[in-house]
Amino acid sequence: MFEHDLFGKPVSTFQTSKDRKVNKQRVIVGISGASGAVYGQAALKALRMAGVETHLVVSRSGQITIAHELALKISQLTALADVVYRIDDIGAAISSGSFKTMGMIVAPCSIRTLSEIASGVTSSLLTRAADVVLKERRKLVLMVRETPLHLGHLRAMTQVTEIGAIVMPPVPAFYARPTSVEDIVNHSVGRALDLFGLESDLVPRWGETIGVGSSPSADSAD
Ligand SMILES: Cc1cc2nc3c(=O)[nH]c(=O)nc-3n(C[C@H](O)[C@H](O)[C@H](O)COP(=O)(O)O)c2cc1C
């Protein structure tokens, strides 16, 4: 059986009876058109490292931000996923609740995608898959990226939280003293994977590798 990549080319999937990996953990990754395609890229890498099968769907605007923001071709990004779906492939496996997954991460999540999910009026495979994750009471993590926020944005975040999603804007944690963009991105992605109960080794943990012992005094910093 084949799915199709972003250019309509068939790609083999894990769904053949012969080589299907029984009981393998699966997570759906959605990349929408907010700034921060690198979060989706990092999520795919981290999930692969964690041994999780990834099912990727990228919105049309997501393809544009990937082209603007990442120093790679879309085919190099999709190669990080196990299965790739076209955004309009509404009959895909991930559009059905009978296809078992741990849930879905939308990284990054645009306001438009957030709003569709919040309303339940879904117009693409990405938002349909998110809606399915919610109806099956699975984990949905939305790395919403926009600033500043007006009341409509905040209301959509409230609404989506009320129906079971986790709104997780990728906000840097400076207590971890990041020294690169990669550090900042990986920290947020690692914390998102924490929400699925997945270990990634991307998060310096307070009280373990950082923040151990007494608090530094203000004049001890150099
Ligand atoms: C370079 C670029 C950056 C963008 N950044 C954001 C953003 O951070 N947040 C957002 O909600 N929309 C952003 N947009 C606009 C979305 O792509 C646009 O609203 C689009 O309709 C979202 O569609 P989608 O949710 O189907 O991906 C950006 C667009 C471009 C081209």
State pLDDT tens for residues 121-155: 999 999 999 999 999 999 999 999 999 999 999 99
Instruction: Choose the residue to mutate in 6, 112, 121 for probing ligand 1, maximizing ligand atoms within 8 Å of C-beta.
Output: 112
Q: Report the C-alpha gap between 92 and 147 in whole angstroms.
A: 33
57 Cβ contact partners less than 8 Å away, ≥ 6 residues apart: 28, 29, 30, 31, 84, 85, 86, 87, 92, 94, 124, 125, 126, 129
80/141 Cα distance (integer angstroms): 20
**Ligand 1 centroid vs 197 CA: distance in angstroms?**
29
Which pLDDT score, from 0 to 100, does residue 117 have?
Answer: 98
Determine the number of helices (DSSP H) and then strands (DSSP E) in the chain: 7, 8
Return all residues near 95 (Cβ < 8 A) that are at least 6 apart.
89, 125, 128, 129, 132
Averaged pLDDT for residues 7-18: 47
On whether the pTM is more than 0.95, the answer is no
Pairwise pLDDT comparison (220 vs 173), residue with the higher score: 173
- The answer to whether residue 30 scores a pLDDT higher than 90 is yes
Best residue among 6, 31, 35 to mutate for probing ligand 1's pocket (most ligand atoms within 8 Å of CB) is: 35
Domain locations along the chain: 26-215
User: What whole-number distance in Å separates Cα of residue 29 and Cα of residue 77?
Assistant: 12
pLDDT tens figures, 33-91 = 999 999 999 999 999 999 999 999 999 999 999 999 999 999 999 999 999 999 999 99
CATH class for the domain made up of 26-215: alpha beta
Which amino acid, residue 156? A
